[in-house]
Every structure is written in C-alpha cells, then in structure tokens.
Amino acid sequence: MTENPEKRVEGLVTLQEWAEQCGYSYNYVLNIMPRHYPGFPEPKVRRKGDVGKGGGSGNNLYDPAELERFRPRRPDPVELPDEDLVKRVTLSGFAALIGVNSSNVTQIKNHRPDTLPPTIEGQRQWYPGARYHVRDLLLMWNSRPGRGRGSDKRRPPLPWQHTDPH
C-alpha cells in the first residue's frame, strides 16, 4: 500500500463516499466497521493522516468491490411502466399494482406515517380513501432500508420529509 496524499486513484472510494452511497453514518463506517466487522477490508491507498488503527483520517481509499459485502441489505426495487407512474391510487391500490399483500403497504400509515408522501390534495396525513400519485408511493416503497434493528437509520430522506427543524 502506498501513501500518496494528493493523488486520486480511479475506481477507489473513501469511506465517507461509500457511507453516503449506502445510507450508513460516516462515523459508524469510519470508527465501528473496521474494528468490529471481521474481514473488513484494508485500504488500497493510505493517505496523509492515517494512523493505521482502523479508519484513520477517513481519507484512505478503498476498493468498492471489497466493501460490497458490507453494504446494507435492502429489498429489490420495484419498477413500473411509465403509464402506471401517473396513476392516482389508494395504498391498497398501490399494493395491487406492485403485486404485494395490501397489509404490507397499508401498515406504513401506522408504523411510519412520516414516510407517506402527500396525498393528491396535498394532505400530509392519511385518511380513509386517501389517494396518492403512484410515482411518489413507488419512491417511498423503493427507499425502504430492509430488515434489522436500526435499519430506519439507513433510510434515505424522502423529498417530502423536512430535515430542517425551522
């Protein structure tokens, strides 16, 4: 492994870049994963500031193929034809459109109502008979992080969720 603080090597990524791609927090990837995940890869290129005891300065470069097995598991994304994306449906109608049990979709209103998009009328809360744009529900559905404790921390923010407290 060579140390070259200035040169960017094609195809390699920093842990910060990889964390952003995966939805992990940068701190978790930098400080926890190298120490507590057996087989976590060594950097391909060590850069200035690396102390050799884990994440280093976070500027080290890694082969993304070696990091792939540590990527969080997520459900496969659903794809729909363009003519379906403009439809307006209820949550149960969306479930039928993507071919899953309606309870898989309707439970979202109880467990994670903040992830529901606005209704076609612009309401932010679910109500009986609420209709949504399929394109918004599809974005919400495909952003699900998968199973496991803490998996919601890996959920990317959705366009209708406000991250600014003001």
User: Residue 18 has which token pair?
Assistant: 């990889």
Residue type, 100: V
C-beta of residue 61 within 8 angstroms of C-beta of residue 10: no
- How confident is the model at residue 101, as a pLDDT? 93
- Give the CATH class of 82-154: mainly alpha
How is residue 126 annotated by DSSP? -
Q: What is the spatial distance between Cα 89 and Cα 158, in angstroms, rounded to a whole number? A: 19
- How confident is the model at residue 111, as a pLDDT? 84
Which regions in the chain score pLDDT beneath 70?
1-8, 48-58, 73-76, 145-156, 162-166
- How confident is the model at residue 19, as a pLDDT? 85
Task: For the full predicted model, state whether its pTM sits above 0.75.
Answer: no
Residue range(s) in the chain whose domain bears CATH number 1.10.1660: 82-154
